[in-house]
Amino acid sequence: MNFQLSEEQQMLADSAKRFVRDNSNVESHRQNKKLMPLNEATWQQLAELGWLAVPFEEEHGGMGMGPLETMVLLEALGEGLIMSPYIATVVLGGGFLRRADAATQAKTIPALIEGRLQLAFAAEEYERVFSLENTTLQGAVKGNDVVLNGTKASVMNGDQADLLVVLVRTAGQPGDKEGLSLFLVDANAEGIERAPHRMVDGRQGAEIRFADVSVSQDACIGELNKGYHVAKAVLQEGLLALSAESVGSMSVLLDDTVEYTKTRKQFGVPISKFQVLQFRMTDMFIAMEQTRSLLLASTLKYVEGHADADKAVHAMKAQLGRAGRKIGQEAIQIHGGMGMTDELGVGHFVKRLTAADGLFGNADVHLRGMVKPA
Amino acid sequence: MDLQVPEQEASFRDEVRTFLEENLTDEIREAGKMVTSVFSPAKEAMAWQTILNDKGWAAPHWPKEFGGTGWSVTQRAIFAEELVRAETPPLVPMGLHMCGPCLIGCGTEEQQKEYLPKILSGEHFWCQGYSEPGAGSDLASLKTFAEKDGDDYIINGTKIWTTYAHHANKMFALVRTRKDGKPQQGITFLLLDMDLPGISIEPIVGLDEVPEQCQVFFDNVRVPQKNRVGEENDGWTVAKYLLTFERGGQEYAPSLHVQLEKIKMMASRQQTVFGSLQDDPVWQYKLAQLEADVLALEFTEMRIKSALSAGKDPGALSSMTKILGTELLQAITELRIETLGAQATIWQPQALVPGDEQPIIGPEYALTAMPHYLNSRACSIYGGSNEVQRGIIAKAVLGL
């Protein structure tokens, strides 16, 4: 057992922290939140720093790293208010591309690494509590084509994406793991309509409607009707990345809250002197460290392929939700009125944690997942 | 002891329902459905107040001679319940529930005649100038200073978290008139016009991106001494009266019941792989816990009403309701975002602005969930934070 960062991982963490220090500020974040196209300049910076290359093979120009390095990078980036579609494009989108056929990989991954290609994973649906097997978007097989009909909801990066990975039911019923297929679809294909919207954390999302969208079976990632396991593996990498980013955000909320109580005076003393607040900040700290422990547990078990890795990932996502809400709520309460304003970073980090809980199954969904392992 | 509803009160409920059905306009109903805060959109709330005032029902809790209805405690509760059930936008409380009662309790006859009718009609839109950047939970440490000058005071300083100052034309404020002695004993209660020279207002954008609060700056603002309520340096007494009113006067349970019913509807629409979310034991357990808590609060509030009806002081019970009501509201808004999952992360606050014509993305019932969750975090901060409330109970009830 060794939980120390390698030299390479330490460098990654240090440079990401430096980037956050130089590029994250509340004011530009607030401006950025307006629904607008991708901040190309920031994305190009991430590309130039090599971070878009982290999880890809060297033959495509990647760095040949894995979820551990993604964890290190995203935890550091999570300490800043930097709005990037990293998880949607690199972790989820890239995760599917890495599992696509060789020709698709050669065509797409280098472009992604250079910052020229955006992706989104279209999985969530309206009025369906999220789980992969709860998918209903219909794919009717017609010869070599599959015709897609239905709507995907809350698609992270859905409007900016050039390519969509769509989770489709090509056979069976909601609840069946069999009969799910994944298609790589041009986001501007005929029959696709996108309604862009902001997400609560300022990220950009979209509702995506499919009306008789015809795709070739060649665009299937993995085998037709056997998409569940591919989707699960990529989703787990996405959840680990989301969790790493969240741990970074939790640490900022705790630090900001502790600092605030040292400077805010009421009744003639800094409010940090009140034991009731000290205990609550202590509980915030404990919740954060427990989350960090589960982040390590789930990432290491996933990377090393342990039998209980699934359970650990569920535990992680559930902890993210519960600890994220607790830490966020306490950070606002202890900041008082100031915590309720758009001016301070606090609210923006709270929104990020709240969104992270809601996406791809919230705490309840994943606790249930632990009871009935997939 | 019993729970029987007397015949006359049941028919009173019918009378209120009929009135609501006949008088609520579509615009007001729509605004009521979109409310994500204790503060409704100002324009629709005032339109609704005008309709109620025409009927004589704008301030049922006021004594009859000042424009109240003369209803019993139970009738007032029935009225409040029916307003909540019909999802009317809550009336803006600063005039009707804060400044009005204070003038009734502590104002001169001249002040009562001048201000109370205009509070009822809505001609005067009041805001509350209490908190300051350095004086929140520790309100008595406020520093905004009013210096005597002839028949006037000249005010300098700043107020913050002033709800709807940008809509208001009047403010009731606590200002310091003496710097020595105990902090509570140098405070004076003043009424002032918001368009006076030297006043500037900066709206503060909240987490829900709505400018509900403001900071107000005073730069040599001249206010006549006759606008003082109570004695000079005795404003804390007036303020305490108001704070008591703000805490004890509100019932939470009726609106919490309505919120829980709506969550059930939402859960029934969410499909899992084993049925709807409403069939899920984990979800049911969470709902049941909240239903039990709300039922308990409902009866705590009934005990208060019962005591008031019998002319007794409900004492400690009313200190509890602010803590319970606000924290249960927060828990309910949390269960709602849990129920909606990713649908609650879709962020379209512009759709909550009355009259917005843009198409809504996702189920319409999901629209208010996240703004309400975020906005409700303020409930345990304002009106005396819940830490302050617990301190009061520890001191006044437990004798600690």
**Residue B275: its pLDDT value, please?**
94
Give chain B's domain count. 3
Q: Which residue range forms the structural domain that includes residue B162?
A: 126-233
- Name which of B209, B284, B347 to mutate to probe chain A: the one with the most chain A Cβ atoms within 10 A of its Cβ: B347
Cβ within 8 Å, pair B377-A341: no
Do the domain assignments include residue B96? Answer: no
* Domain termination residue (choose one: B40, B68, B91): B91
**Residue B257: its pLDDT value, please?**
94
Domain co-membership, B151 together with B259: no
Mean pLDDT of B35-56: 94
**Residue B392: its pLDDT value, please?**
87
**A11 or B357: which leads in pLDDT:** A11
Residues 6+ apart with CB under 8 A from B47: B25, B27, B28
Domain co-membership, B378 together with B265: yes
Q: Which of B2-6, B245-249, B287-291 has the lowest average pLDDT?
A: B245-249
**Residue A82: its pLDDT value, please?**
84
Domain co-membership, B46 together with B151: no
Tens-digit pLDDT profile for residues A258-276:
999 999 999 999 999 999 9
Domain co-membership, B199 together with B279: no
3-state SS, B336-373, equals: HHHHHHHHHHEECHHHHCCCCCCCCCCCHHHCCHHHHH
As given in the structure block, the two tokens for residue A112 are: 């992604």
Alpha-carbon distances, residue B266 vs A124, A126, A128, B327 (angstroms): 17, 12, 12, 21
Pick the CATH number of A7-117 from 3.40.50.720, 1.10.540.10, 3.20.20.140, 2.40.40.20: 1.10.540.10
The alpha carbon dihedral of A156, A157, A158, A164 has a sign of negative
Cβ within 8 Å, pair A131-B370: no
Which domain CATH number covers B157? 2.40.110.10
> A292-315: buried (b, 16+ CB within 10 Å) or exposed (e) per residue?
bebbbbbbbbbeeeeeebbbbbbb
**Residue B184: its pLDDT value, please?**
92
Q: Are the beta carbons of A118 and A205 closer than 8 angstroms? A: no
DSSP string, B322-337: HHHHHHHHHHHHHHHH
Domain co-membership, B85 together with B132: no
Mean pLDDT estimate for chain B: 93
As given in the structure block, the two tokens for residue A262 are: 């040292």
pLDDT of A283 > 70? The answer is yes
Cβ within 8 Å, pair A195-B374: no
Do the domain assignments include residue B246? Answer: no
DSSP string, A170-192: -SS-TT-STTEEEEEEETT-TTE
Domain co-membership, B299 together with B376: yes
Do the domain assignments include residue B26? Answer: yes
Alpha-carbon distances, residue A355 vs A114, A243, A339, B3 (angstroms): 28, 11, 18, 44
- Name which of B39, B207, B338, B370 to mutate to probe chain A: the one with the most chain A Cβ atoms within 10 A of its Cβ: B207
Cβ-Cβ contacts under 8 Å between A and B: the total is 143
Do the domain assignments include residue B288? Answer: yes
Domain chopping of chain A, boundaries: 7-117, 120-226, 229-371
In chain A, residues with a C-beta closer than 8 Å to the C-beta of B141 are 266-267
pTM of the predicted model as reported, rounded to 2 decimal places: 0.95
Q: How confident is the model at residue B246 (pLDDT cuts 50, 70, 90)?
A: very low
Domain co-membership, B224 together with B255: no
Q: How buried is B109 (Cβ within 10 angstroms: 0-12 exposed, 13-18 middle, 19+ buried)?
A: exposed
Which domain CATH number covers B342? 1.20.140.10
Q: How many angstroms separate the CA of residue B52 from the nearest CA in chain A? A: 32
* Domain termination residue (choose one: B183, B205, B233): B233
pLDDT of B196 > 60? The answer is yes
Cα B381–Cα B384–Cα B389 angle in degrees, nearest 5: 100
Q: How confident is the model at residue B72 (pLDDT cuts 50, 70, 90)?
A: confident
**Residue A76: its pLDDT value, please?**
96
Q: Which of A313-317, B229-233, B384-388 has the lowest average pLDDT?
A: B384-388
Mean pLDDT of B239-254: 71
Q: Is A154 on the interface with B (CB under 8 A)?
A: yes
Hey, what CATH topology would domain A229-371 get? Butyryl-CoA Dehydrogenase, subunit A; domain 3 (1.20.140)
Q: Is A265 on the interface with B (CB under 8 A)?
A: yes
Do the domain assignments include residue B61? Answer: yes
Domain co-membership, B262 together with B166: no
pLDDT of B256 > 50? The answer is yes
- Name which of A33, A35, A124, A127 to mutate to probe chain B: the one with the most chain B Cβ atoms within 10 A of its Cβ: A127
Do the domain assignments include residue B115? Answer: no
Which ranges constitute the DSSP H helices of chain A?
7-23, 26-32, 40-48, 67-77, 86, 94-98, 102-113, 228-263, 275-304, 309-335, 345-358, 363-371
Q: Which of A190-194, A367-371, B145-149 has the lowest average pLDDT?
A: A367-371
Identify the top-confidence range among B6-10, B101-105, B302-306, B370-374: B370-374
Neighbours of B267 (CB within 10 A): 22
**Residue B245: its pLDDT value, please?**
57
* Domain termination residue (choose one: B181, B206, B233): B233
Mean pLDDT estimate for chain A: 95
pLDDT of B369 > 70? The answer is yes
Which contiguous run of DSSP H or E holds residue B202?
A: strand B199-205
Q: Give catalytic residue positions of B.
A: 246
Domain co-membership, B224 together with B312: no
Q: How many angstroms separate the CA of residue A325 from the nearest CA in chain B? A: 9
Nearest chain A residue to B346, by CA: A199
Report, at the CATH architecture level, how domain A120-226 is classified.
Answer: Beta Barrel (2.40)
Tens-digit pLDDT profile for residues A24-83:
877 777 766 665 556 788 899 999 999 999 999 999 999 999 999 999 999 999 999 888
Which contiguous run of DSSP H or E holds residue A146?
A: strand A145-156
Domain co-membership, B277 together with B345: yes
Q: How many angstroms separate the CA of residue B348 from the nearest CA in chain A? A: 7
Do the domain assignments include residue B217? Answer: yes
**B316-340 and B253-269 helices cross at what angle (nearest 10)?**
10
**A372 or A301: which leads in pLDDT:** A301
Neighbours of B4 (CB within 10 A): 7
Domain co-membership, B73 together with B188: no
Domain co-membership, B229 together with B318: no
Closest by CA to A107, choosing from A225, A215, A219, A237, is: A219
